[in-house]
Amino acid sequence: MNKTRKLMGLAAALAFAMVMLPASAFADTTQYDLFVNGEQFTSEKLTIECGEGTATYDPATHTLTLNNASIANTTGCGGIASKLTGDLTITLQGSNHITFDDNMGIMAAGNVEITGPGNLAINVAGETRDGLSVAGDVSVRATKHRR
């Protein structure tokens, strides 16, 4: 009888612990159709290290922020590869670089808007490689630093 009570108590404690876990503990990881420096953004990985800087993705606004990012010589999908169904905004903070010997700089399936107070240099080599390869429109809008 004493063993039964202990087992019942353990089962109740386990059930209580499961109820108290957040729903996100059981959620699947969402993979976004956006790659930077050869790595894919997911709901669990929204920031990717790029040299001394970072690339951060906000899926709610489809905004990729480059902050002193250095993207170089990644195999496969190029510097920034977007197969997102909507538009992509790339916000620049600081000095950012995409450098490849034989790959694309930025590839996107939709429109791309580049904005922010920072800058971006794209240097690619190879006969069939482009700095920008975008299926939609590209717009560049500089914003000034506020003091």
State pLDDT tens for residues 64-82.
999 999 998 666 677 999 9
Confidence of residue 147 (pLDDT cuts 50, 70, 90): low
Query: What is the amino acid identity at position 7?
Result: L
Residue 68 φ/ψ region, left for φ over 0, alpha for ψ in the -120 to 50 degree band, beta for the rest: left
Global pTM value: 0.78
Q: What is the pLDDT of residues 9-26, one digit of tens each?
A: 666 666 666 666 665 555
Q: How would you list the strands of the sheet with 70-72, edge to edge?
A: 70-72, 95-100, 119-124
